[in-house]
Each structure stands twice: as C-alpha cells, then as structure tokens.
Amino acid sequence: MLQNQKIQQQILIMNNDFRFILNKIKTIQQNTLSQNCLIQLSTSQIEEINKTIPILKQTLTIYNNHQDSLSLNLVTLIPNLLVIQNDYLVISNCTIVKFKSTQGYCIQLSNGIGNLLIFIANIENYKLWNSKLKQFCKLSNFSQKFSVQEQTIAGYYIIKHKKTNKFYIANMQPLQNTNMELLNSEIQTLRSIKHPSLLDLKWLYQDIRFVYLIYEYFKCEKLTTLLKSGLNLDQTQLASIILQLLQLTKFLNKQQIYHGNITLDNILINVQSSYLSIYLINMKFLHKIDIDTLNLYKQTTQTYYLAPEIIDGISNPSINTDLFQIGVVLYYLTFYIKLDRNFIKNDQIKMELINELEEQFLNASKFQFQQMNLKQIYKMAFSASQLDLLKRLLEKQDQRIKLEEAMKHCWFVNIKQKFKPKYERKKQHLSSLNTIIELCEQSEYTKSFVNIQQKFDDDQVLDEYNVIQEFMQQLEKNNSQKPPSRENHEKLKYFEFSKTSYDQDKSNSQNQYKFSKSVI
C-alpha cells in the first residue's frame, strides 16, 4: 500500500514537471498542438506488430491532445513505426523537435495531420529515444551538419559531417522538380526493408530547396557510364547483373511490392566490391493506384521500359512488369555497340534481330563464313540460351516467363555448371517482412515495415546470390592467371575491383548482407 502511494506521488511530481515543459511549448507553438497524429490499429494489425521484435519498448509519458492531459503509456518502436497502445505513427513522415529543461525532456513528432509529445525524465533514456527516432524522421539543418564536397554521379554527392569529419553520400532531390509522392514512397520502402541491391538509407534531411537522402559512403559508377567508357561485359558478368536484378525482384515480391523503374540508368556498379555487385536506385512503387498516379508513372518512365499491358491500360505496374523491364535491360546490354553513343536512346526493341541472332547461334556452321555475322558485331551476345531468356522476358503479359522460372533458366544453369565450389557455404538468411496493407492505405506514404529475426526466408532469397558471387571470384582468379590481353586490359582499366575491401570483409561473411543499425 505504501509502495503504491510512493509510486503515485512520484508520478504526480513527474507530471507537474512535464506540465511545466508543456506550458512552455504551448507558449511557443500556441494552437498547433490541438491535433493528434496517431492512427488507430485494427486487431489483426496489432497481432502482426506483436510478432515484430522492437527496437525500443518503454513506458513513457504521452500528451493527450484532445483531453489536454498527461498519461503513462507503453511506447514501442519498430522500424519506421511508433506504436502506442492501439495507435501507430509512421515516423518517416514526421519532423522531430526536442525540448530540454531542468524538469525533464520532451520529443515532439509532427506530420501533416498533427503532433505527438513524448516526455522523458531520464537523460539516458532521452538520448536513446532521440537517437533512434532521428534515424527515421525528416531532419533539418543539413547545411549546419554537413558540407558538400563533390559530385560522384548525377544527383549524388560526397558530403562531410562537420563535427566528426566522416564522409557520406547524399542524393540531393530538388523539391521544385521532384514528384514528392513517388519520392516519399521510395523513402518509406528504403526505411522498411534491407537488401544487398538496395542502398541503405541512414538519414533523411529536408530544407526549402532539397530533400537529402543520406547513405553510408560508397563508391559506384553508373552502368551506362562504364559502357560508354568502353566496358565489355563477359558472359558471367552479364548473367550476374541480370540474376541480381531477378533476386531483388523476388525479394520485393515477397514484401508485396515492386520496383517499377528498372532501367540501365538506374543500375549502379559497386566498384569497391571484390566481385560484381549492383545497386538499383530510383524506385517507383505506387502506394495508391488511380488514373492520376498511373498517368504520372507513364509520363516519368522511359517509353521503351513500359510493358505493353501498361501502355494498353489493361494492367498496373507490378512484379510482372518489372520482369519486362529486366528484359529491356538485357536487350540493350546484349545489343550494345559502344561506338554508337545514342544506341540506347534511339533504338527500339527489334524482335526480328533477336530471332536472327538466335538462329546464328543454333546453326553456327551455316553462318560461319557469312560476311554479315551478327555474333561478331554484338560482343555481349554469348549464347542461344541467353537470347531465349531475353525473348521470354519481353513476351506479352500472358506469355511472359514467370519469376521463379526465369531464375532457374538454363542460361544461368549452364554458367553455374562451369564452377563447382569445393565447399558448400553456410546458408545466409535475410529476415522476412510482413506487409500490413491496411496501414499502407490509412497512412500517407507507408506500404511495408520490417518483421525482424522471427521468420526466415524459406525460399532462401540470397542462396543463388552466394553461388554467382563465388563463381565471380573464381573467374577473376582464373583470369588473373591468364596472359594479359588487350581486351582484359580494357576491362581492368574501366572496371577495377578493390581487393582491399574484400580482404577486410572476408573475415565476416555476414558483411555482404549487413542491416542498418536502425533495423537490428
């Protein structure tokens, strides 16, 4: 009884202290605190959230806007979602402001709907919650925190943190020329999922001119830039790029989302990796489907990457249309001629060219002495099986190859058979995600969030990825033992892999699939 009285007395004193801070905030912000920004959860959504291992979970004091009261509530932080009892808040839609005084601490989260005030008495808990929430919120004062050093690729800049002198990469999106609906959808997705072929978003800043997507420092080149510089991919490198695109598509499909913008321009080659690895950028996932968003999607997507069913208006963007886009990427790589700088911009897909070249592969002896040998013209056309996969990816909707079938296509099988690993690598699992569609519809931008650690990917999304990377490493080892040639010298000149990073990473195989600190 005495213990309960002491607790109640402590709560009363603490609330009085927090009320003092609240009154100061009200004086500054006047009538802006009247609206709450929390959205109610359904029973099924609560069950899904309860399956997720929280980043933070603690009983904290929350301000009730409607009743103008302070009350203790259990607050749970999971990737990009703050859950308070039966309500939730999508954090990437929010800005964050902190208030400190001798009486305690307050964190204010605000979006276009309203505000949430969280009061914390202990400085250690305050610092912990503030640092974790900042990993998901829209932050301000970019120019005070960072200095821009130089541009690396179009839209991406090396920046330096003024306090720590650490370098990062910032994708600077001008507010005036950017469709915020598509950008916010991409931000929401990057906040909620992690994959080796997606950039790991660290912070998000916004000012009156730009939105800044900040990533850990990386060194990449656009695939189109490397091609224009003279890079000729060998068959294994080409297959590796296509297979990694298919693996990412499979991963996204398991989260009930798609990429929507798989183009040559959006493929970055990680030049720090010891093997060929890619990042796919500029996602166009539509969190809502209507006439306006579909028209916007068509207007902002390069015409020859639009699947026939989208052009005809009989289907929406999906994993199936992602497969078509992968087919277009494979087409322009297969028939790329480095002397023709405008090839990709001007050339339409020619199915008759694919069929003619496939016939030459199937009837090699017949075409061996012909003056017009297409195999000599198109250096990145390697086999009939490659062209078979290409045709099946470019088929109309009903005849198009399915994702699982594409990943097991004989082109990849034939390449993998060239290299038999001496040992079987331990399978690495990536946590699966639970997509809560109801949350996506209720919230402004959200579509999915992470369900960490509890479930494993039963289909082993990354298993094929590991095999092709082992093959790549073995191939590079074999090539290094061959006499140097002009072609190999050209490849090394424009596409140098960093062995240093491999030596640093091979002590920990999990580094290939590392999660951001916000997700662990």
Q: How confident is the model at residue 415 (pLDDT cuts 50, 70, 90)?
A: confident
> Residue 239 in contact with residue 412, Cβ under 8 Å?
yes
Identify the pLDDT of residue 489: 44
Average pLDDT over residues 47-55: 84
CA distance 449 to 49: 9
End-to-end CA distance of the chain: 41
Categorize the per-residue pLDDT at 193 as very low, low, confident or very high, splitting at 50, 70 and 90: confident
Instruction: Name the token pair of 326.
Output: 């992968």
DSSP 53: P
Residue-wise burial string across 110-130, b where 16 or more C-beta atoms lie within 10 A, e elsewhere = bbebbbbbbbbbeeeebeebb
Using one digit for the tens of pLDDT, what is the confidence trace for 140-174? Answer: 889 999 999 999 998 999 999 999 999 999 999 99
Tell me the per-residue pLDDT of 443-457, one tens digit each, with 9 for 90 and over.
433 333 333 222 334
Q: What is the pLDDT of residues 285-296, one digit of tens each?
A: 987 788 888 988
CA distance 269 to 385: 25
Strands 115-120 and 87-90: unpaired
For residue 430, pLDDT beyond 70 = no
Q: What is the largest CA-CA distance in the chain?
A: 101
Q: Is 227 exposed, middle or buried (0-12, 13-18, 19+ CB in 10 A)?
A: buried
Q: What DSSP character marks residue 431?
A: B
User: Which CATH topology does 2-139 take?
Assistant: PH-domain like (2.30.29)
The residues with which 94 forms a beta bridge, in sequence order, are none
**Residue 301 token pair:** 């997507």
How far apart, in Å, are the Cα atoms of 492 and each of 235, 335, 488?
A: 16, 22, 6
Report percent pLDDT > 70 for the chain. 72
Nearest to 186 by CA among 99, 281, 263, 266: 281
Neighbour-count burial of 273, counting CB atoms closer than 10 A to its CB (0-12 exposed, 13-18 middle, 19+ buried): buried
In this predicted structure, what is the pLDDT of residue 359? Answer: 78
CA 370 to each of CA 48, 367, 427: distance values in angstroms, whole numbers, following the listed order? 64, 5, 49
Please identify which residue in the block is written with the tokens 């009892």: 85
Which is more confidently placed, 91 or 496?
91
Amino acid (one-letter) located at 150 = E
Is the pLDDT at 84 greater than 80, yes or no? yes
pLDDT band of 404, cuts 50, 70, 90: very high
Residue whose entry in the numeric block shows the structure tokens 């990536």: 430
Residue 23 reports pLDDT greater than 80? yes
Q: CA 86 to CA 315: how far, in whole Å?
A: 36
DSSP code, position 277: -
Query: Is the C-alpha dihedral spanning 297, 299, 301, 305 positive or negative?
Result: positive
φ, ψ of residue 342 in degrees (nearest 5): -100, 15
pLDDT at site 394: 95
Alpha helices in 135-263 (DSSP H): 142-145, 180-192, 223-228, 235-254
pLDDT of residue 330: 96
For residue 496, what pLDDT is reported? 41
State the pLDDT confidence band at 370, using cuts at 50, 70 and 90: low
Burial class of residue 24 (count of CB atoms within 10 Å of its CB; 0-12, 13-18, 19+) = middle
Chain-centroid distance of CA 92 in Å reads 15
Average pLDDT along the chain:
77
Greater confidence (154 vs 374) lies with 154
**Is domain 142-216 given the CATH code 3.30.200.20 in the classification?**
yes
Find the mean pLDDT for residues 117-131.
93
Query: Lowest-pLDDT range, 252-256, 278-282, 312-316, 500-504?
Result: 500-504
Tokens of 414: 């034939």
pLDDT at position 10 is 53
Name which residue leads in pLDDT, 204 or 497.
204
pLDDT, greater one: 113 or 480: 113
pLDDT value at residue 191: 85
Helix 384-393 vs helix 235-254: crossing angle, to nearest 10: 30
Give whole-number Cα distances, 273 to 221, 339, 496, in Å.
12, 28, 9
pLDDT confidence tier of residue 106, bands split at 50, 70 and 90: very high
Residue with the bigger pLDDT between 373 and 425: it is: 373
Backbone angles phi, psi at 16, to 5 degrees: -65, -40
Q: Where in the chain is the domain with CATH 3.30.200.20?
A: 142-216
- CATH 2.30.29.30-classified regions of the chain: 2-139
SS (H, E, C) 357-390: HHHHHHCHHHHCCCCCCHHHHCCCCCCHHHHHHH
Q: Which of 32-36, 264-268, 516-520 has the highest mean pLDDT?
A: 264-268
Delimit the CATH 1.10.510.10 region(s) of the chain: 223-510
**Which amino acid, one-letter code, is at 410?**
C
The CATH label, of 1.10.510.10, 3.40.50.300, 3.40.190.10, 3.20.20.105, for the domain at 223-510 is: 1.10.510.10
Please state, in angstroms and rounded to a whole number, the distance separating the CA atoms of residues 466 and 393: 24
Crossing angle of helices 235-254/463-480, nearest 10°? 160
Q: What is the pLDDT of residues 24-43, one digit of tens each?
A: 887 777 666 777 888 888 88
Q: How far apart are CA 113 and CA 296, in angstroms?
A: 25
Query: What pLDDT, on a 0 to 100 scale, did the predictor assign at position 214?
Result: 96
